[in-house]
Structure 1
Amino acid sequence: MKPKNKYQKRVFELSKKLSPLTKAQVKWGYKNCIDHIGRRTKKGVISCLECGHTWTDRTTETHCTCPNCDTRLIINDTTKRVFDDYQYFCMVTTSEEFQVLRFFYIDYKAKAGEKARYFHSEVIQLWIDANGKHTTIAKLRPIFCFTDTWNFCSNLEIRPNKNFYNALPTATYPRMKLIPEIKRSGFTGDFHKLTPFDLFRYIVTENKAETLLKAKQTALLQFFAYHTSRSIADYWSSIRICIRNGYNIDDVTMWCDYIDLLRFFGKDLHNAHYVCPADLKAEHDRYVEKKRAHIERERKEEAKQQALKDEALFQELKSKFFGIQFTDGVVQVRVLESVTEIMQEGDAMHHCVFTNNYHLRPDSLILSACIDGERIETVELSLSKLKVVQSRGVCNKNTEHHDRIIKLVNKHIPLIRKRIAA
Structure 2
Amino acid sequence: MKPKTERQKRVMFLHKRLKPTYKNIYKWALNNCIKHFGYVAKDIATCLCCAEDFSVKKSMHVVRCPKCKRKLELVRTRKMKYDQLVYVGKMEQVEEYQVLRFYYIKVFFKKGEIPKCNMYCVFEDWISPDLDREFVARVFTVGFYYDKGIWTNDLELRNIDRRESILRYMDSIFYYDKGGIRGDLLQKGINFDFIRKLKNIDLIDVIQSSSASVAETFIKRKNTRFLKEFIKNPMEVKKNWRSIKIALKNNYTPLDIQVWFDYLENLRELNKDVLSPKYILPKNLILEHNKYMLKRYEKLEKEGMEGATINKTIAENVIYIDRLKKYFPLHFQNKNISIEPLKSIEEVKMEGNTLNHCVYVNGYYKKESRLLFSAKVNSKPTETIEFDLYTNTIIQQRGYGNCKSIYHQEIEKLFLNCIPQIQQITNL
Shorter chain as denominator, the TM-score bin is 0.7 to 0.9
When residues 269 and 89 of structure 1 are mapped into structure 2, their CA distance, relative to the original with a 3 A threshold, is same
Match of 1:109, SS?
A: strand
Report what 1:137 is aligned to.
Answer: 136
Work out whether 1:181 is the aligned partner of 2:187. no
Per the alignment, residue 126 of structure 2 pairs with: 127
Deviation at residue 409 of structure 1 after TM alignment: 1.3
| Residue 121 of structure 1, CA deviation | 0.5
Instruction: Tell me the equivalent position of 1:87.
Output: 86
The equivalent of 2:164 in structure 1 is 163
Distance 1:273 1:37 in 2: 47
Query: Which amino acid counterpart does residue 320 of structure 1 have in structure 2?
Result: Y
Confirm or deny: 8 A CA contact 2:210 2:216 kept in the other structure.
no
Residue number in structure 2 paired with 1:257: 262
Match among 382, 405, 408 for residue 406 of structure 1? 408
Please report how far the alpha carbon of residue 102 of structure 1 lies from its aligned counterpart in structure 2 after TM superposition.
Answer: 0.8
What SS does the aligned partner of 2:149 have?
A: coil
Unaligned runs of 5+ residues in structure 1 are none
| Deviation for aligned residue 1:79 | 1.3
Hey, what does 1:42 align to over in structure 2?
42
Aligned residues: 412
The equivalent residue for 1:244 is 249
Deviation digits for residues 282-319 of structure 1 (CA, Å, limit 9, x no counterpart): 54344434444444444643444344443444333364
Q: Could you tell me how far apart the structure 1 residues matched to 2:110 and 2:273 are?
A: 65
Deviation, 1:125, is 0.9
CA distance in 2, matches of 1:371, 1:29: 37
What SS does structure 1 have at the residue aligned with 2:8?
Answer: helix
1:223 paired residue among 218, 226, 229 = 229
**TM-score with structure 2 length normalisation?**
0.80
After superposition, where does 1:1-400 map in structure 2 within 5 Å? 1-21=1-21, 23-42=23-42, 44=44, 46-50=45-49, 53=51, 55=53, 57-60=55-58, 61=60, 62-65=62-65, 67=67, 74-142=73-141, 146-161=146-161, 162-166=163-167, 167=170, 169-187=172-190, 188=193, 189-215=195-221, 217-228=223-234, 230-264=235-269, 267-277=272-282, 279-298=284-303, 300-315=306-321, 316-317=323-324, 319-324=326-331, 326=333, 329=336, 334-347=340-353, 349=355, 351-368=357-374, 378-381=384-387, 384=391, 386-387=393-394, 389-393=396-400, 396=401, 398=403
Q: Percent identity?
A: 25
The one-letter code of the counterpart of 1:184 is: Q
One-letter code of the match for 2:350? Q
Q: Is the 8 A contact 1:34 1:87 kept in 2?
A: yes
Amino acid at match of 1:243: L
- Superposed CA offset, 1:354-383 (max 9, x none): 232212435544334567776555443456
- Deviations along 1:45-86, one digit per CA (max 9) or x if unpaired, are x545456x564535445434365x777655433211232222
Tell me how far apart the structure 1 counterparts of residues 149 and 64 of structure 2 sit (CA, whole Å).
33
**8 A contact 1:327–1:408 mirrored in 2:** no
Q: CA deviation at 1:180?
A: 2.8
Pick closer, same or farther for the CA change 1:370–1:317 going to 2, 3 Å: closer
Alpha-carbon distance in structure 1 between the residues aligned to 2:141 and 2:114: 31
> Aligned equivalents of 1:176 and 1:236: distance in 2?
34
| SS of the residue 2:405 aligns to | helix
Structure 1 pair 382–17 and aligned structure 2 pair: CA distance change class (3 A): same
Q: CA RMSD in A?
A: 3.5
Which amino acid is the alignment partner of residue 127 of structure 1? W
Give per-residue Cα distances to partners, 1:339-367, cap 9 Å, x unaligned: 22113333555543123221243554433
In the alignment, the residues of structure 1 paired with residue 46 and residue 377 of structure 2 have an alpha-carbon distance, to the nearest angstrom, of 45
Q: Give the 3 Å change call, closer, same or farther, for CA 107–407 of structure 1 in structure 2.
A: closer
Contact 1:169 1:195 in 2 (8 A): no
Bigger mean CA offset, 53-62 vs 241-250: 53-62
Q: 1:133 & 1:313 partners in 2: Cα distance? A: 38
User: In the superposition, relative to structure 1, how do residues 403 and 288 fare at CA in structure 2: closer, same or farther (>3 Å)?
Assistant: closer
Contact preservation (8 Å) 2:324, 2:371: no
Q: CA offsets per residue over residues 212-233 of structure 1, 9 Å max, x none?
A: 24445442222222335x3422
The worse-fitting range, judged by mean Cα deviation, of 27-36 and 247-256 is: 27-36
Distance, in Å, in 1 between the alignment partners of 2:307 and 2:52 is 77
SS in 1 for 2:136: strand
Q: Could you state the TM-score of these two structures normalised by the residue count of structure 1?
A: 0.81
**Structure 1 residues 97 and 259: CA distance shift in structure 2, 3 A:** farther
Contact 1:324–1:415 (CA<8 Å) still a contact in 2?
no
1:190-219 C-alpha deviation (Å, 9 max, x unpaired)? 344233425523542322123224445442
Secondary structure (helix, strand or coil) at the match of 2:39 reads: strand
- In structure 2, relative to structure 1, the CA distance for the partners of 1:283 and 1:100 (3 Å cut) is same
**More off after superposition, 98-107 vs 368-377:** 368-377
